[in-house]
């Protein structure tokens, strides 16, 4: 996020504290999760474009999936008015799974492609950010 | 889907029968689920645009979320090469939850807006199509 | 579109007749254009997933682009409240260009892949539907 | 972009120098344009969620459009393999138009909403970044 979008997110976060569905959420943690999802969408889009060989077809399509899921997850976190605990938890779960599986697949290609190795790293960070969100929501 | 995209999906489905991760999947059921997700993306996009009042802000933002989740789900089902059982199940779960919650919220606005009533119906059908997919995958 | 989303689009179309920005638009033609964009998003998503060889990397990435542009175009036509003549014209122009170039590239692969041949056909139809919309808007 | 995605983009940029379609492009300028599109998608998604009143319905729907167009534009720039001069120019044109119109509409709401004022600023920056890309491509 740049300075202006961060300021906008701070304003949205303050609103969230006043809504019953979202009042307990750790909004700092959510901003990190938004960044991680944005990075995953970008890394996976570039990684899918870079892979050439036929043996990379699974990795390429998983990256395309991961980019789309990350984009939907990111946007959900930017809409406090539409947020419910249950939809957030289910989508965080799906994104964590997608990020973890995509990281594993990309990592298995890391010897052939430096871009795959970097993409795996970004996916791993996204999985962790989503898991942290889920943990904090379970405790709230 | 139109005739050509249906034919393309039939070809993709035949490939799926030969891949270990996707060999057991009911591809006819999956095509119905693709249609249901596509309809939900469209209905929710139109519904979000039609709602005016401040008291409809939750419904509007949930519809925006539901459209994005449905789009990611639909695309995942169109990429047999990137499909794994675990990512499919997690994302079907998230889409079912999103569709169900959005349907409930839209239904609560049905007296004020015919578009909300119709949108709720489309979301309900999408939730059912996703649930059917999950049931058949659990049995396979 | 299924029966319910078609009915919703009819309602949106009636609203469009009462808004100054959109009052002259041929809403029947727009529904065809929405269908054509939806088909292009689906065909290109499947086509990109199906292509294996390194020599198909340009086609694959153009299909990924075409799917994303078609999706944005489709959603714009489903939001009468946000519609302006100038943004519609510019985005129709971009979608026509994208669809035409993607059709050419896919057609050049048609001997190797039946899916590319079909995808080219769907892209061609989308280019035509967008062009028809632009022509009717220029005359209005 | 975070450090890793920036490194990935640098690698993609080097490849672009070796492709005939993209060899003349200013890849530094393109990275700025990617950042600007990403910021516009985020700002517009938050802005659309924040607007309550019925009189804000045009602004809300234009923001939803702008988010979708920005997302498609951003992804196109992350796929050097699918890049052609003509599709880039047409889509940059559409994004510039969308960003400019959305900035105008948001600015007209700035007295009522600080989020609209900030969103207008982000849209304006995106329009400028796209315009700069077009200018440099016209000269190349």
Range with lowest mean pLDDT among B86-100, C88-102, D8-22: D8-22
| Other Cβ atoms within 10 Å of B86 Cβ, number | 12
Mean pLDDT of the region C41-69: 91
pLDDT at A80 over 90: yes
SS3 C88: helix
| pLDDT for residue C19 | 83
Q: Do D64 and B53 touch (CB under 8 A)?
A: no
Q: Please check whether residue D70 lies inside any domain of the structure.
A: yes
CA distance D56 to B109: 19
pLDDT at C59 over 80: yes
CA distance C57 to A43: 18
The CATH number of residue A67's host domain is 1.20.1270.360
Query: Which residues in chain D have their CB less than 8 angstroms from residue B60's CB?
Result: 60
Q: Which residues contact C38 (CB under 8 A, 6 or more apart)?
A: B38, B42, C1, C70, C74
Mean pLDDT of the region B64-77: 98
Give the Å distances, CA to CA, from D89 to C71, D2, D21, D84: 19, 27, 12, 9
Render pLDDT for B19-61 as a digit per residue (tens, 0 to 9). Answer: 888 877 888 999 999 999 999 999 999 999 987 776 788 999 9
Q: Please check whether residue A67 lies inside any domain of the structure.
A: yes
pLDDT at A24 over 90: no
| pLDDT for residue A43 | 97
Q: Shortest Cα distance from D136 to chain A (angstroms)?
A: 23
Q: Please check whether residue A123 lies inside any domain of the structure.
A: yes
Q: Do B42 and C119 touch (CB under 8 A)?
A: no
| pLDDT for residue D140 | 66
Query: Which residues in chain B have their CB less than 8 angstroms from residue C4's CB?
Result: 39, 43, 118, 121-122
Burial class, C64, CB count within 10 angstroms (exposed 0-12 / middle 13-18 / buried 19+)? buried
Q: Which residues contact C36 (CB under 8 A, 6 or more apart)?
A: C122, C125, C126, C128, C129, C130
DSSP letter at B115 equals H
Give the total number of structural domains in chain B: 1
CA angle C89, A76, B106 (to 5 degrees): 85
Q: Do C52 and A52 touch (CB under 8 A)?
A: no
Question: In which domain, by residue range, is B119 found?
Answer: 30-139
Which parts of chain D sit beneath pLDDT 70?
Answer: 54, 140
Mean pLDDT of the region C16-30: 85
Q: Please check whether residue B110 lies inside any domain of the structure.
A: yes
Q: Please check whether residue D50 lies inside any domain of the structure.
A: yes
SS (H, E, C) chain D: CCHHHHHHHHHHHHHHCCCCCCCCCCHHHHHHHHHHHHHHHHHHHHHHHHCCCHHHHHHHHHHHHHHHHHHHHHHHHCCHHHCCHHHHHHHHHHHHHHHHHHHHHHHCCCCCCHHHHHHHHHHHHHHHHHHHHHHHHHHC
Q: Which residues contact A89 (CB under 8 A, 6 or more apart)?
A: A134, A137
| pLDDT for residue D42 | 97
B50 touches C: beta carbon within 8 Å: yes
pLDDT at B78 over 70: yes
Band of residue C20 on the pLDDT scale cut at 50, 70, 90: confident
Query: Which residues in chain A have their CB less than 8 angstroms from residue D12's CB?
Result: 46, 49-50, 115
| pLDDT for residue D51 | 75
Chains in contact with B, where contact requires at least 3 CB pairs less than 8 Å apart = A, C, D
- Nearest chain D residue to B68 by CA: give it: D68
Query: What sign does the CA torsion over A122, A134, D49, C5 have?
Result: positive
pLDDT at B74 over 70: yes
Widest Cα–Cα separation across chain B: 52
Q: Do D7 and A39 touch (CB under 8 A)?
A: no
Band of residue A54 on the pLDDT scale cut at 50, 70, 90: low
Mean pLDDT of the region B73-89: 96
pLDDT at C123 over 80: yes
Range with lowest mean pLDDT among B91-100, C21-30, D109-118: C21-30
Percent of chain B whose pLDDT exceeds 90: 74
pTM exceeding 0.95: yes
- Nearest chain C residue to B64 by CA: give it: C75
- Give B106 or C140, the one with higher predicted confidence: B106
By Cβ distance, the residue of C12, C45, C121 closest to B46 is: C12
- Choosing among A46, A47, A49, which should be mutated to test the C contact, i.e. which has the most C CBs within 10 A? A49
Q: Do D93 and C93 touch (CB under 8 A)?
A: yes
D72 touches C: beta carbon within 8 Å: yes
CB C126 within 8 A of CB C70: yes
Burial class, A55, CB count within 10 angstroms (exposed 0-12 / middle 13-18 / buried 19+)? exposed
Q: What is the CB-side half-sphere exposure of residue C91 using CA atoms within 13 A?
A: 30
Mean pLDDT of the region A46-59: 85
pLDDT at C89 over 90: yes
pLDDT at A53 over 90: no
- Choosing among C3, C12, C15, C75, which should be mutated to test the B contact, i.e. which has the most B CBs within 10 A? C75
Query: What sign does the CA torsion over A120, A122, A125, A127 have?
Result: negative
Residue B84 has which token pair?
A: 């794994």
By Cβ distance, the residue of B49, B53, B57 closest to D61 is: B49
| pLDDT for residue C15 | 83
DSSP letter at C19 equals S
Query: Which residues in chain C have their CB less than 8 angstroms from residue B9's CB?
Result: 46
Q: Please check whether residue A3 lies inside any domain of the structure.
A: no
Q: Please check whether residue C101 lies inside any domain of the structure.
A: yes
| pLDDT for residue B138 | 87
Q: Please check whether residue B89 lies inside any domain of the structure.
A: yes
- Give D52 or C62, the one with higher predicted confidence: C62
CA distance B114 to B105: 13
For chain D, what is the radius of gyration of the CA atoms? 16
CA distance A132 to A121: 17
CB C55 within 8 A of CB B55: no
Burial class, A18, CB count within 10 angstroms (exposed 0-12 / middle 13-18 / buried 19+)? exposed
């Amino acid at each position: 996020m740049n300075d202006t979008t961060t300021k906008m997110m701070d304003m949205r976060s303050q609103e969230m504290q006043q809504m019953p569905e979202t009042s307990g959420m750790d909004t700092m943690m959510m901003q990190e999760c938004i960044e991680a999802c944005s990075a995953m969408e970008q890394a996976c889009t570039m990684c899918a474009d870079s892979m050439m060989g036929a043996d990379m077809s699974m990795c390429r399509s998983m990256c395309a999936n991961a980019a789309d899921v990350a984009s939907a997850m990111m946007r959900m976190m930017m809409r406090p008015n539409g947020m419910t605990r249950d939809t957030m938890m289910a989508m965080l779960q799906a994104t964590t799974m997608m990020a973890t599986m995509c990281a594993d697949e990309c990592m298995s290609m890391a010897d052939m492609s430096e871009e795959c190795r970097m993409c795996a790293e970004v996916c791993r960070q996204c999985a962790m950010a989503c898991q942290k969100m889920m943990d904090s929501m379970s405790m709230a």
